[in-house]
Amino acid sequence: MLIDDALRKFVESFQNSGEPLGVMKYSDTKLQADKIDLPLTGEILYFYDHLILEDGPFFGCNPWISIIERNRFKRILEGWDNNPEWKDSYIIFAECNGDVLFCDSSDLKSPVYGSVQMEMYKLTDSLSEFLIIYSKFIEVEQIEFGGDVTDDDFNPKPEYLSRIEEELNKNLSSKLYIDNFMYFFFG
């Protein structure tokens, strides 16, 4: 199952990402969790059924993301119902610099979108695809660049951005998704 492999790689990336904060562990068995009143299905359901998340897991350097724990779902969704484009099937699973990453749970593949100031951009056709790509970001950041991916003014180094774009070109079929990814994470 692609989501299972992607999730395992994502957790491995978290654990190898320099100085991650919080706890993120993979569980081979489905976790017992309190029922929540949100439409979790498909890959996003598998994500939460097999991830042990504690203390606001946060990792990466540039880009970094913070994973949303189940107990924060209701709070993180406050205010989104004011956006006419927002659907009840949207599930926010991560934050990045005050912006959010969310899945559309009406599709079993859980396509991933980024929202910058409530403007939405489709990033991938599935959550598993997103997890694989973000894991690759961490690998490039930590292994190839030793975490040194920004200049003295904290802007991403051009050579790092080139490598990220190269990985996106290898892993995404749409130029639009590549552009959306670059815009969401790097402005």
pLDDT in tens, 20-64: 899 999 999 999 877 777 889 999 999 999 999 999 899 877 788
Q: Which domain holds residue 50?
A: 2-186
Contacts of 79 (CB under 8 A, 6+ apart): none
Phi and psi torsions of 75, nearest 5°: -65, -40
Q: How many domains does the chain have?
A: 1
What share of the chain has pLDDT > 70, as a percent?
99
Positive or negative: CA dihedral 134, 140, 141, 143? positive
| CATH number (domain holding residue 61) | 3.40.1580
Mean pLDDT of 104-116: 96
What share of the chain has pLDDT > 90, as a percent?
71
pLDDT of residue 51: 94
pLDDT of residue 159: 97
Q: Where are the alpha helices (DSSP H) in the chain?
A: 2-15, 42-50, 73-77, 127-139, 158-171, 175-186
Mean pLDDT of 90-108: 94
pLDDT of residue 1: 65
Would you give the distance in Å from CA 73 to the centre of its chain?
Answer: 15
Mean pLDDT of 132-141: 93
pLDDT band at 17; cut points 50, 70, 90:
confident
